[in-house]
């Protein structure tokens, strides 16, 4: 990916210097109030956390982030990783701004928070071990850059465009939020069985993968900064974080009813669908009969 020298976003908040390691806890509870849902990239148990927590939730009830946080800072200019993230985020702003406008909707740009360890969010306290996540309550994507090491070395998904896929997947959750999809799905919580909630979660996640593909399509059209190897990096990442792959690696067996993000094949299929069409309408996982 030839990303150097392209526009950077003004929506990156660097909170890596704020510590925040101690004292946080993951809520084990479910069905907590509005805005408590957090949508992560991968099922958390690969990091030793119950996947229900991930889909579910961070306990609310901490102090409002704005009350306790220092003003947001931009990352330093000489930080290559942060510059990369900022450049990808900027392109998602360009693409989604234009795609949503075509659909008659104004695009409200999300913030992207870089953090280390733990971080206060409108969804409760997040932690690095969850992997990157999006909090609908404050419309921010949260990312510990250390995840990219995990992605490369532990999850077997190297490459800058694997990382771009991760960022654009999270931005895809933001697009879902703006479309009202996140709220609708969260409203089902507690009203359907756990298995049904998992199945809904899979559709949410596959749609975010499809949106990542839509972004890739328009991004390449606009900038021509990708080559075939980049697309392969994204497809490989999608496969490596498929629920079946992760379960096989961690527990040796696969339990489809417990999937929350979709199989490797499904994640690749929906990413490709967005990539090839560039059309949001092609990403309707909720009405799709087969995934």
Considering the complex, what minimum distance in angstroms separates the CB of residue 276 from Zn ion? 21
Considering the complex, what minimum distance in angstroms separates the CB of residue 173 from Zn ion? 6
Q: Where are the beta strands (DSSP E) in the chain?
A: 12-14, 39-40, 111-114, 118-121, 124-127, 133-135, 140-143
Stretch that binds Zn ion, among 24-32, 143-151, 206-214, 221-229 (CB under 5 A): 206-214
93 three-class SS: helix
Report the alpha-carbon distance of residue 53 to residue 42 in Å, rounded. 12
Considering the complex, what minimum distance in angstroms separates the CB of residue 63 from Zn ion? 27
* Pair of tokens at residue 6: 């392209």
Report the alpha-carbon distance of residue 255 to residue 259 in Å, rounded. 7
Q: Going residue by residue from 164 to 203, which x/- string records binding to Zn ion, judged by CB under 5 A?
A: ----------------------------------------
Closer CB to Zn ion, residue 144 or residue 205?
A: 205
Q: Which of residues 13-52 bind Zn ion (CB under 5 A)?
A: 39, 41
Closer CB to Zn ion, residue 42 or residue 114?
A: 42
Considering the complex, what minimum distance in angstroms separates the CB of residue 133 from Zn ion? 8
* Contact yes or no for 36/126 (Cβ under 8 A): no
By rule CB under 5 A, what count of residues binds Zn ion? 4
Closer CB to Zn ion, residue 208 or residue 239?
A: 208
- Residue 44 carries which DSSP code? G
Chain mean position to CA 234: 14
Q: Which spans of this chain sit near Zn ion (rule: CB under 5 A)?
A: 39, 41, 205, 208
């Amino acid at each position: 990916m030839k990303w150097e020298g392209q526009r950077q976003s003004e929506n990156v908040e660097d909170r890596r210097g704020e510590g925040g390691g101690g004292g946080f806890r993951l809520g084990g509870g479910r069905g907590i109030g509005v805005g408590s849902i957090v949508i992560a990239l991968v099922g958390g148990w690969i990091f030793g956390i119950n996947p229900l927590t991930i889909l579910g939730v961070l306990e609310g009830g901490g102090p409002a982030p704005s009350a306790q946080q220092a003003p947001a800072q931009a990352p330093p200019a000489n930080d290559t990783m942060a510059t990369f993230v900022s450049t990808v985020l900027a392109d998602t702003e360009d693409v989604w701004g234009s795609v949503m406008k075509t659909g008659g909707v104004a695009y409200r740009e999300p913030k992207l928070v870089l953090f280390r360890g733990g971080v206060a969010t409108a969804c409760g306290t997040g932690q690095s071990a969850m992997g990157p996540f999006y909090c609908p309550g404050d419309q921010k994507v949260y990312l510990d850059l250390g995840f990219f090491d995990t992605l490369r070395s532990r999850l077997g998904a190297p490459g800058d465009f694997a990382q771009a896929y991760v960022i654009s997947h999270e931005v895809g959750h933001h697009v879902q939020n703006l479309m009202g999809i996140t709220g609708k799905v969260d409203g089902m919580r507690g009203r359907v069985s756990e298995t049904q909630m998992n199945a809904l979660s899979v559709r949410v996640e596959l749609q975010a993968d499809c949106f990542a593909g839509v972004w890739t399509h328009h991004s390449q059209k606009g900038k021509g900064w990708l080559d075939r190897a980049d697309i392969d990096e994204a497809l490989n990442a999608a496969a490596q974080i498929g629920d079946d792959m992760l379960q096989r690696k961690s527990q040796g067996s696969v339990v489809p009813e417990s999937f929350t993000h979709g199989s490797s094949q499904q994640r690749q299929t929906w990413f490709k669908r967005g990539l090839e069409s560039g059309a949001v309408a092609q990403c309707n996982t909720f009405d799709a009969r087969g995934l």
